[in-house]
Amino acid sequence: MPIRDARVAVAAKRVTDIVLSALLLVMFAPLFLVCAVLIRRSGAGIFYSDRRVGRNGRIFYCHKFRTMVPNANAHLSALLARDPELRREWETSFKLKHDPRVTAIGRFLRKTSLDELPQLLNVLKGEMSLVGPRPMFEEEQVRWGAAIHYYYSTRPGMTGVWQIYGRSDTDYETRIRLNVEYVRHWSYWRDIVLLAVTPRVFFVRSGAY
């Protein structure tokens, strides 16, 4: 792609992020309220913000609806210290399939991906994009090796090839491969296609936990 066309495509992606995230925040405002009420019943705190790696390796706080018990990070440290199987699972994928910290409403929000709606604020601020690699924890960077520059070259996304074509059913190496291929072969119109199929994947709810 010529440099001028690439710049136009990148600018179009950012404009799309701003316009759609603003519209979706307004559209989903009633749903935000319902989620907030249900979450509040499970304990203090409606939102959860955690450190993630963004474009150019910058750290930002990724926003979600709280799906876990309060002080979940402290609970995680205790769980991993006393359960070797859970520790191996966490070190392999940075997720726990049957995470005991997740609340009842949290399980529903995760299964439907509604817990990620607050990330629209990250998109509006320019920390994330609607489409891109899954936001990673700081400790994940070493797993990417030399491929990490692909991740650094773009904004992480609310949805993307990994979220659509595998989610948590894929191993970590496949996750890296899918995201590297996305960055290497990126186009604005491919983003539009990924956005178009995202609602269908969320309704099917496969691979989410």
In order, the DSSP letters of 125-158 are HTSSEEESSPPB-GGGHHHHGGGHHHHHTS--EE
Q: Which of 81, 100, 119 is the last residue of a domain?
A: 100
User: Does 36 share its domain with 133?
Assistant: yes
Q: Which helix (H) or strand (E) holds 76?
A: helix 72-82
* Whether residue 203 has pLDDT greater than 90: no
Q: Which of 100, 117, 152 is the last residue of a domain?
A: 100
Task: Confirm whether 208 is domain-assigned.
Answer: no
Q: Which helix (H) or strand (E) holds 90?
A: helix 84-93
Total number of domains in the chain: 2
The chain-wide mean pLDDT, for the chain, equals 88
How many other CB atoms sit within 10 Å of the CB of residue 193? 12
User: Does 88 share its domain with 28?
Assistant: no
Quote the pTM value.
0.85
User: Does 74 share its domain with 137?
Assistant: no
For residue 1 the two structure tokens come to 């792609």
* Whether residue 148 has pLDDT greater than 80: yes
Task: Confirm whether 163 is domain-assigned.
Answer: yes
Confidence of residue 163 (pLDDT cuts 50, 70, 90): confident
What's the maximum distance between 2 C-alpha atoms anywhere in the chain? Answer: 55
Determine the average pLDDT of the residues in 90-97: 77
What whole-number percentage of the chain has pLDDT above 70?
Answer: 92
pLDDT at 202: 67
Q: Which domain holds residue 94?
A: 68-100
Confidence of residue 91 (pLDDT cuts 50, 70, 90): confident
Determine the average pLDDT of the residues in 71-96: 78
User: Does 48 share its domain with 111?
Assistant: yes
Q: Which helix (H) or strand (E) holds 167?
A: none
Query: What is d(CA 155, CA 151) in angstroms, rounded to the nearest whole number?
Result: 8
Confidence of residue 77 (pLDDT cuts 50, 70, 90): confident
Asked if 35 and 119 count as a contact pair (C-beta separation under 8 A), the reply is: no
Task: Confirm whether 32 is domain-assigned.
Answer: yes
Determine the average pLDDT of the residues in 2-28: 90
Q: Which of 100, 118, 149 is the last residue of a domain?
A: 100
User: Does 84 share its domain with 32?
Assistant: no
43 or 192: which carries more pLDDT confidence? 192
User: Does 152 share its domain with 79?
Assistant: no
Q: Is 166 helix (H, G, I), strand (E, B) or coil?
A: coil
Determine the average pLDDT of the residues in 1-13: 80
pLDDT at 60: 98
Contacts of 96 (CB under 8 A, 6+ apart): 86, 89, 90
Environment class of 68 (CB within 10 Å of its CB; exposed 0-12, middle 13-18, buried 19+)? buried
User: Does 167 share its domain with 118?
Assistant: yes
User: Does 129 share its domain with 176?
Assistant: yes
User: Does 39 share its domain with 125?
Assistant: yes
pLDDT at 89: 80
Task: Confirm whether 209 is domain-assigned.
Answer: no
Q: Is 45 helix (H, G, I), strand (E, B) or coil?
A: coil
User: Does 107 share its domain with 13?
Assistant: yes
User: Does 76 share its domain with 154?
Assistant: no
> Each residue of 112-146: b (16+ CB within 10 Å) or e?
ebbbbbbbbbbbbeebbbbbbbbbbeeebeebbee
Task: Confirm whether 148 is domain-assigned.
Answer: yes
User: Does 10 share its domain with 91?
Assistant: no
